[in-house]
Structure 1
Amino acid sequence: MGLRGPAPKPENKRPEYHVFQEDIAPPPGTPAKTRKLFERLVAENRAANVSIRQVDAQLYADLADLMLRRDTTDDDQLFLAYGRQISNIRALLCIGPRNRVRAGVPAKVEKKTESPALRILAFAKQQG
């Protein structure tokens, strides 16, 4: 406490985040099933206002391919390995609310699908 009262609290402002929204296409020779999943993953990130660049197209294609492989494998070891690779790529591309928050990207989540942790944080902010 200073001579003129309590010191002002610093504001917790996040740095400005510039979003690159490029139209990206899957790499040449991508199978139809993988292409459909590729487009869905890109649309998910575009809706969440995450940067989308052509240089990430191969990562999106790899992610779609791994997701299809994981869904069709019978081997438990392969299933787990694909799952680890998928989570690593999803983190790189900021797919999913948790990964977006970790990357400092505002996570646009509807109220009915909001995670309990985000609700607790919002409640704590309201309480001051």
Structure 2
Amino acid sequence: MNIKNLFSTVSLICLSFGVTLAFFPDYIGNQYLTDPSWINPGAKLVAQGYGTLLIAFAVACWYGRGAEPSLGRRAMIVLILLSDLALVIVHSLAIINKVETPIAWVTVFISVVLTVWSGMLLRQGTDVAA
């Protein structure tokens, strides 16, 4: 469970969700939303924008895999921790409030794992060069 593996895992997850959101927002909407009629042109645009952001984040993580210990690498780990923590909260609330279907618990589980993993790596404190 090292930093290279974390960045590789995050990159693959973000790429898979990003490509699906960017190019197939209707599919994700039908899978995740309890009322697929909420999928309108505005929702598609937001999904595609978020998908593009995820693809960019996947590329950043992929290229960050081989980075030497630095403040930038630590910032990426903090970003992973905070963004996944936020996803846990947002998706959990959406499921509880019946906005998303129970399949979104998979997303919550993935985000919990990535939050804990990045938190453990930050606690090790070996990611910033001396």
Which TM-score band (shorter chain)?
Answer: 0.3 to 0.5
Structure number with greater Rg is: 1
TM-score by length of 1: 0.37
TM-score by length of 2: 0.36
Higher relative contact order (CA 8 A, sep 6+): 2
Q: Which has the higher helix share?
A: 2
